[in-house]
Structure 1
């Protein structure tokens, strides 16, 4: 049986072909590279899968090597082909959001000819599927959209540059906006709770988040002319009830495109967004091999 594995900084999530889900806490091993990789190998191979898809937060090659993983530095330089060579298990590896976008198309949007996924959580990432094929770029690092400039000379981003989309649309971006508006130093779940209860400062922070989200989506629409845009990720999951006006705002900003050219959707995958995409990727790879 196939399974998808999503390697995060704190947890590894697993989705099996039969729908079974697992969530493994890896925080105790992430400071010890050898222990971390051993734990990861055990999780990937457990249950004798016939194939494994792996989604990793970071820059990954098409051959399965992690160039750099800013949020999981212990993975920097890890080559999954070497990690799994002795097991003989077929595998596929890719950037978590690029992989997740293929999962959106594979499981929920097969009629789409051009689909973009924007995932917002700790950071902001994107994925693109064209005519049913995930687009990874030449080196496997396409759609790092969180680091395109949304405001020249703007906020300092975690990447070291200023004005990145992620600096405004991410968990830390929302928290900073709330503080800049005079609110206390709170984590995003509490800010969202306050917004849902009608607190003025929290609602204003959410509206600013939505304004920057809409601007970034406008840029993507003008670049790729997709028919589907899917929003997902942990922060979006919590904010669904506050973003009901986003599609209209984006369409108002894209006057050069017909209003009916695209539709906006929220992912149904929840926290298993990456694992579901990894499962879809290995399904595709093993099917292609068999055919």
Structure 2
């Protein structure tokens, strides 16, 4: 029996091959490297799995070293795969959205030649699957689309650069857009709720967010020419009813040839999406 693990700064989520799910609160541990790693090892070994896929938000190398995790700094520089192997855990370790993209292909879109998955929540991540193979790049950091620049000298991103797509299309980017319009600081879910209730500033924030979203997606489609684009992540899931017409607006903004073979889907796997992708990746080891 195999399982997939999604490591976040607030929760670790586990999906077993037989469908069992587990969600472990780790926010109080995630700032303490020793305690956090001990918990990850315990969760990975629990139930004596045949193999484990581990998805981590951050720049993760092909050999499972987490070079930088903006939202989980306790994991920066950690050779996680080596640690798990030393504990007897057969595993594959990689970027969460790259693994999530493979899960989208494996479970939902096996007819796709080129699948792009874009997930927006706390940050913005992406993954690409070409002819059934996850594209990870030369050293594992491919598809960091959240850190391509869409506005020179623009808003500050969590990575320290300015004008990144993530600085506009993420939870904190959305909150900043709303604050600039209203002068009020609210959490993303509060803004979404106000928009659903018809609040003018919240609806304007959604529209501005949507414009940045379409710009970044248009760039990605022109560069990668996917036939399948899957949208997901906690923020996008919560905003779905507010983004009506997104698919048509995107396709109309794209050149005719790449638009002619593009289909847009919304992910259905919700919060266990990256764990599902990690499980799918475990079948290859």
When structure 1 is superposed on structure 2, of 229-238 and 179-188 the one drifting more is 179-188
Aligned pair in 2 of structure 1 residues 159, 86: CA closer, same or farther (>3 Å)?
Answer: closer
Report the Cα offset of residue 258 of structure 1: 5.4
Structure 2 residue matching 1:278: 3-state secondary structure = helix
TM value normalised by structure 1 = 0.95
1:82-231 aligned at under 5 Å gives the runs: 82-231=82-231
Aligned pair in 2 of structure 1 residues 260, 183: CA closer, same or farther (>3 Å)?
Answer: farther
Q: How many residues align?
A: 285
Q: 1:156–1:167: 8 Å Cα contact kept in structure 2?
A: yes
Q: Distance in 2 between matches of 1:58 and 1:6?
A: 12
When structure 1 is superposed on structure 2, of 48-57 and 80-89 the one drifting more is 80-89
Q: Distance in 1 between matches of 2:8 and 2:178?
A: 26
Q: Distance in 1 between matches of 2:155 and 2:29?
A: 33
Summarize deviations over 1:164-211 as a string: whole Å, max 9, x none: 101110001111111111252110101001111111111111011111
TM value normalised by structure 2 = 0.97
Aligned pair in 2 of structure 1 residues 106, 82: CA closer, same or farther (>3 Å)?
Answer: same
Q: 1:105–1:112: 8 Å Cα contact kept in structure 2?
A: yes
Q: 2:31–2:72: 8 Å Cα contact kept in structure 1?
A: no
Report the Cα offset of residue 12 of structure 1: 0.3
- Kindly indicate whether residue 225 of structure 2 is the aligned counterpart of residue 234 of structure 1: no
Q: 1:181–1:201: 8 Å Cα contact kept in structure 2?
A: yes
Q: Distance in 1 between matches of 2:152 and 2:102?
A: 31
Structure 2 residue matching 1:257: 3-state secondary structure = helix
Q: 1:183–1:201: 8 Å Cα contact kept in structure 2?
A: no
| Map of 1:289 onto structure 2 | none
Q: 1:9–1:27: 8 Å Cα contact kept in structure 2?
A: yes
- Kindly indicate whether residue 25 of structure 2 is the aligned counterpart of residue 11 of structure 1: no
Q: What do you get for the CA RMSD once the two structures are aligned?
A: 1.2
Structure 2 residue matching 1:231: 3-state secondary structure = strand
Q: Distance in 2 between matches of 1:10 and 1:82?
A: 23
When structure 1 is superposed on structure 2, of 40-49 and 252-261 the one drifting more is 252-261
| Map of 2:33 onto structure 1 | 33
Q: Distance in 2 between matches of 1:195 and 1:168?
A: 17
When structure 1 is superposed on structure 2, of 195-204 and 78-87 the one drifting more is 78-87
Q: Distance in 2 between matches of 1:244 and 1:130?
A: 29
Structure 2 residue matching 1:98: 3-state secondary structure = helix
Summarize deviations over 1:7-66 as a string: whole Å, max 9, x none: 001110000001111000112222321111111100111011110000001111111111
Summarize deviations over 1:137-163 as a string: whole Å, max 9, x none: 001000110010111121111212111
Q: Distance in 1 between matches of 2:174 and 2:12?
A: 25
Structure 2 residue matching 1:181: 3-state secondary structure = helix
When structure 1 is superposed on structure 2, of 256-265 and 241-250 the one drifting more is 256-265
Q: 2:175–2:186: 8 Å Cα contact kept in structure 1?
A: yes
Over 2 Å off, 4+ runs: 85-89, 255-260
